[in-house]
């Protein structure tokens, strides 16, 4: 039984559980924010208790940058965590369908119980399995307008990006002609061991944007992203309440 009055990671511990992959802790911070942790201080998800659909971290905003030039009919999310981005897409793109893939049953349950993630429905499917297995068994067809990759292994003192190098070609084949893939890289540089393959797969349309302190978002597509003059930033920022123009201005084309 946990001590609900214990202080941890700068907040109050309200729930803790162990599964086959380690600990999962839920923290409330000053009765305004709720965060999920996998055994260390890194926030795997953060939610505003006053506005649950609001995105808190810059990297989640940057990962959804393609929303300012496309409206996805189908979205694939590899890595659910507390469901911040899944919940945002489910709320703001009600006409689309989201497939979310999460390895840990406990994480999925806690996302429902503590982070207000909707139960599976006609527009939201949750697949509890390894991302690699989902990709391997998926049809080799261009189903998705947006693919979000946010996968990490968390150790006691470190959080390490899970590479999908062997599956990047398949992921590209799963993108529609105008689709985008967004990959969150945590660390001091973005040229992880799948970077060179991404350059080959998206030779004319690979970009990087820096977000937060140690997050780099790689954005790839079969076509270059639209020029800024063709995007209605004002309208999209009002629609989604996200600073799209700020993140777009930080995009760097990779050559």
Same domain, 132 and 91: yes
* Total of domains in the chain: 2
- pTM of the predicted model over 0.75: yes
Same domain, 169 and 208: yes
**Alpha-carbon separation of residue 111 from 85, 105, 117 (angstroms):** 12, 10, 6
Same domain, 40 and 17: yes
Same domain, 141 and 204: yes
- Give tens-digit pLDDT for 23-62: 999 999 998 999 999 988 889 999 999 999 999 999 999 9
**CATH, residue 139:** 3.40.50.150
Same domain, 81 and 143: yes
Q: What is the pLDDT of residue 170?
A: 95
pLDDT above 90 covers what percent of the chain?
77
Q: What is the pLDDT of residue 215?
A: 84
As a whole number, the mean pLDDT across the chain is 91
Q: Which two tokens stand for residue 56?
A: 């808190």
Of 58, 44, 135, 53, nearest to 93 (Cα)? 53
Helix ranges restricted to H, 99-167:
105-115, 131-137
- Give tens-digit pLDDT for 62-109: 999 999 999 999 999 999 999 999 999 999 998 999 999 999 999 999
């Amino acid at each position: 039984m946990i001590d609900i009055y214990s202080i941890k990671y700068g907040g109050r511990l309200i729930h803790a559980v162990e599964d086959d992959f380690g600990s999962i802790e839920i923290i409330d911070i000053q009765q305004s924010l709720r965060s999920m942790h996998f055994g260390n201080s890194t926030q795997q998800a953060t939610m505003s208790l006053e506005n649950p659909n609001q995105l808190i971290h810059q990297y989640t905003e940057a990962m959804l940058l393609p929303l300012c030039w496309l409206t996805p009919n189908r979205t694939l999310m590899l890595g659910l965590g507390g469901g911040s981005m899944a919940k945002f897409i489910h709320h703001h793109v009600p006409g689309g369908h989201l497939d979310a893939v999460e390895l840990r049953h406990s994480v999925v349950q806690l996302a429902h119980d503590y982070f207000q993630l909707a139960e599976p429905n006609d527009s939201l499917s949750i697949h509890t399995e390894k991302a690699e297995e989902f990709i391997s068994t998926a049809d080799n067809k261009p189903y998705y307008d947006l693919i979000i990759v946010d996968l990490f292994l968390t150790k006691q003192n470190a959080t390490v990006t899970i590479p999908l190098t062997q599956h990047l070609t398949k992921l590209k084949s799963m993108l529609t002609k105008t689709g985008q893939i967004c990959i969150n890289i945590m660390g001091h540089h973005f040229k992880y061991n799948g970077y060179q393959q991404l350059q080959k797969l998206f030779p004319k349309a690979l970009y990087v944007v820096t977000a937060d302190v140690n997050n780099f978002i790689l954005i790839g597509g079969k076509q270059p992203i639209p020029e800024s003059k063709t995007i209605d930033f004002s309208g999209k920022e009002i629609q989604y309440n996200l600073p799209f123009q700020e993140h777009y201005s930080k995009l760097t084309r990779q050559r």
